[in-house]
Structure 1
Amino acid sequence: MPRPTLYIAITNHGFGHAVPISSVANLVQKMCPDVLLIMVTTAPRWLLESYISGDFIHRPRAFDVGVIQSDSITMDKQATLEKLKEIRSKERSIIAGEVDFIKQNRVDLLLADIPPLAAKIAQAADIPCWMLNNFGWDFIYRPWGGEFVEIADWIGECFGQCDRLFRLPLHESMDAFPNVFDVGLTGGTPHYQPEEIKAKFGIYTDKEKTVLLTFGGLGLAQIPYQNISRFPDWQFITFDSNAPEFPNLINVRNKLDKNHTQFLKIRPVDFMPICGRIISKPGYSTFAEALKLEIPVVSLIREGFAESKLLLEGIQDYSYHQILPPTEFFDGDWEFIRRPLQPPRKSEKLDKNGSEAIAKAVVEYLH
């Protein structure tokens, strides 16, 4: 019997799409140890390895562009449009190359988050395409107008060929998809006990005064770290290797570089349980992991990216939170840290088992 083979295509945009689908891939591998995982993404292998505990093939390919950005908030729409046109002009050759690869490797199922061409690739290879996300790229591009409208139409046509969408919480309607299944939150779960983390990194503050700064894979330019010195009795944690040194700032990456330990695959989600809040920008994977662990979220507002509004509404509905205008974060003195958090507007909780539900469906199909 050939091994069941799962081809996973990931949007070429930051790290936020690689995280939810990698957490699903990890569960598929645990439930079905003989599965062959093929991770098709330009995301770095170390990121995938921090979520997938077993072996996989890494095929660095990009079928879409997401949004070209200099950091986690600053977008270059013109460069994005040029790249989208280039991908569209090469559509036939991209599809042909992947169909050959899929047939050679006897792939059984294509799972995607959420490159539009994945649906056309699967159809041409005569295998099903399942997708997961809380938004489609047509939803992001359409409000930008001009030539983006035609691109959004093309993307909607691609999505129309998807066999099944697992729609994640905090979503838009995703009308282009013919078959929609709503599932719960996705994302990683902590690898370590809170005591292990606190001992390893010398964290002695109480949880309420421990803050994780996390701004996605691209980070933020010009974080005003000098404000940290105004809160000497608080502990701040960052993964930004360019951060300056402060007595109350732990730079996880630099600490690990100096001291290679079993903590090498540590991720922001591993720190969340010891923190009283995270400070972030709107991003599904960070928000979903915080919501799963019920960690309060302080988020910047992000203009011009349609998904942000959905995410900020969701955080206000389901989490203790603060929503910050960018000026208050970049130009203010961070006095918001001393203000009380707002309670969630809704009393019900979101389902936390999205990764498990998707993985179970995939394994049932592969068997």
Structure 2
Amino acid sequence: MASPILYLAITNHGFGHATRAAAIAAEIKTLNPEITIILATTAPRSVLEAYFPGDWIHRPRAFDVGVIQADSLTMDLPATLDKLKEIRAQAQALIRSEANFLKQNRVGLVLGDIPPLAAPIAQAAGIPCWMMGNFGWDFIYRAWGDEYPEFNDLADWIGDCFSQADRLFRMPFSEPMPAFSSTIDVGLTGVLSRFTPEEVQEAFNLGAIPQEKIVLLTFGGLGLNRIPYENVKHFPDYIFICFDLSAPELPNLIRVDDRFYRPIDFAALAGRLISKPGYSTFSEACRFDVPIISITREGFAEAPILLEGIQDYAQHQIVEAEDFFTGDWSFLAQPMTPPRKAEPLAKDGNKSIAQAVVDYFQS
């Protein structure tokens, strides 16, 4: 009997979607090693392998554009609009091509995070499509409709694509996502460290540093272009950890240049995390109970929802972007604000989604 085949389509935006989807794929493979998994994404194989080691098939395909960005905060809306119109113009050809691929390879289920075209592709192939995420691209684009009215029509088209999905696994820190007809709320998703805290302490000489003095700096796969690293010199008794290969050499700044280490590998050691609004970063910090200092992000509709989320569920500080870029980081001397809600979020999102996929193939 042929092994079941899962086609996992990943949105073409940054690396956050790719890493969380790869982590869920790894969980599926752990629960049932017989499932063949195809990762359909333009994310580099090296990034995917860091979160999903083992056997899988890489199918480089771009189903959407997300947002075209120079770094994790700087967005190019006209270029995004032009690319999105190009994708819509080519959509029917892409749907036919990919649906033929699914049928020829006897794929049994499409799981999307969260490219809109995944649903009509699955429907054209005659198989179910499940989606997972905390926002839809219709929600993001519609927020720009006043400035660029063409985004409104494209958001309607994307909402129609989403309405063809059979199920949505809605993650925490989410917008309502009303285009989906069947929604299942799940817990936090994320990846696990490859190392024990002791192994990381030894590798980076952190054993003598109190946890509250270890600050993890991470700004997503695209990073930031202008981090004022000189501010770390104001806190000589702290250790700052970053993954920016262009960061300067400073006595209390550890620049992690070994790509085998990831931000999550330091989460259990960090007393605080400094970041920009991003689901994967916030979710993984909450899974490890790491206090979050987030800068603000203007013009991206997901950001206020994420900031509301950490105010509800994490020890936090919210710092205006201008204060982060031009200030002296005196916020580090301020106490963290406790979460507004006492009940923590469930942390079983990976397992919930993976188990549903395994159960589907066994039914």
**TM exceeds 0.5?**
yes
Provide the residue aligned with 1:217 in structure 2: 221
Shift of 1:236: 0.4
Aligned counterparts of 2:82 and 2:107: Cα–Cα separation in 1: 32
Shift of 1:46: 1.5
The question of 1:247 aligning with 2:242 is answered no
Provide the residue aligned with 1:261 in structure 2: none
1:193 to 191, 196, 200: 196
TM-score by length of 2: 0.97
Shift of 1:125: 0.6
Q: How does 1:179-190 map to 2 (within 5 A)?
A: 179-190=182-193
Provide the residue aligned with 1:337 in structure 2: 332
Provide the residue aligned with 2:101 in structure 1: 101
Provide the residue aligned with 1:161 in structure 2: 164
Query: Relative to structure 1, is the Cα distance of residues 37 and 265 closer, same or farther in structure 2, using a 3 angstrom cutoff?
Result: farther
Q: How does 1:129-278 map to 2 (within 5 A)?
A: 129-145=129-145, 146-203=149-206, 204-253=208-257, 256=258, 265-278=260-273
SS at match of 1:144: coil
The amino acid of 1:354's aligned partner reads: G
Deviations 1:306-365 (A, max 9, x none): 110110000011000000000110000111111111111110100100110000000011
SS at match of 2:342: coil
2:352 to 336, 354, 357: 357
The amino acid of 1:272's aligned partner reads: A
The amino acid of 1:86's aligned partner reads: E
Q: Where do 4+ consecutive residues of structure 1 move more than 6 Å?
A: none
Provide the residue aligned with 1:5 in structure 2: 5
Contact 1:171/1:310 (CA < 8 Å) preserved in 2? yes
Contact 1:318/1:346 (CA < 8 Å) preserved in 2? yes
1:296 to 291, 298, 304: 291
Aligned counterparts of 1:274 and 1:36: Cα–Cα separation in 2: 35
Deviations 1:153-172 (A, max 9, x none): 00000000000000001111
Deviations 1:249-304 (A, max 9, x none): 11112xx2xxxxxxx53211111110001000000001000011110000011011
Q: How does 1:13-162 map to 2 (within 5 A)?
A: 13-145=13-145, 146-162=149-165
SS at match of 1:24: helix
Shift of 1:47: 1.4
SS at match of 1:8: strand
Aligned counterparts of 1:42 and 1:217: Cα–Cα separation in 2: 14
Task: Indicate the RMSD between aligned Cα atoms, in angstroms.
Answer: 0.8
The amino acid of 1:7's aligned partner reads: Y
SS at match of 1:50: helix
> Once structures 1 and 2 are overlaid, which stretch shifts more, 319-328 or 91-100?
91-100
Shift of 1:230: 1.2
Deviations 1:60-106 (A, max 9, x none): 11000000000000000000000000000001111111112111211
Shift of 1:243: 0.8
The amino acid of 2:128's aligned partner reads: P
Aligned counterparts of 1:302 and 1:285: Cα–Cα separation in 2: 16
Structure 2: which 5+ residue stretches go unaligned?
Answer: none
Aligned counterparts of 1:224 and 1:68: Cα–Cα separation in 2: 24
The question of 1:308 aligning with 2:308 is answered no
Shift of 1:201: 1.1
TM-score by length of 1: 0.96
Aligned counterparts of 1:27 and 1:44: Cα–Cα separation in 2: 20
Aligned counterparts of 2:361 and 2:254: Cα–Cα separation in 1: 44
Structure 1: which 5+ residue stretches go unaligned?
Answer: 257-263
Aligned counterparts of 1:243 and 1:337: Cα–Cα separation in 2: 20
Provide the residue aligned with 1:287 in structure 2: 282
> Once structures 1 and 2 are overlaid, which stretch shifts more, 70-79 or 97-106?
97-106
Contact 1:49/1:265 (CA < 8 Å) preserved in 2? no
The amino acid of 1:268's aligned partner reads: P
Aligned counterparts of 1:266 and 1:99: Cα–Cα separation in 2: 37
Same amino acid, percent of matched pairs: 59
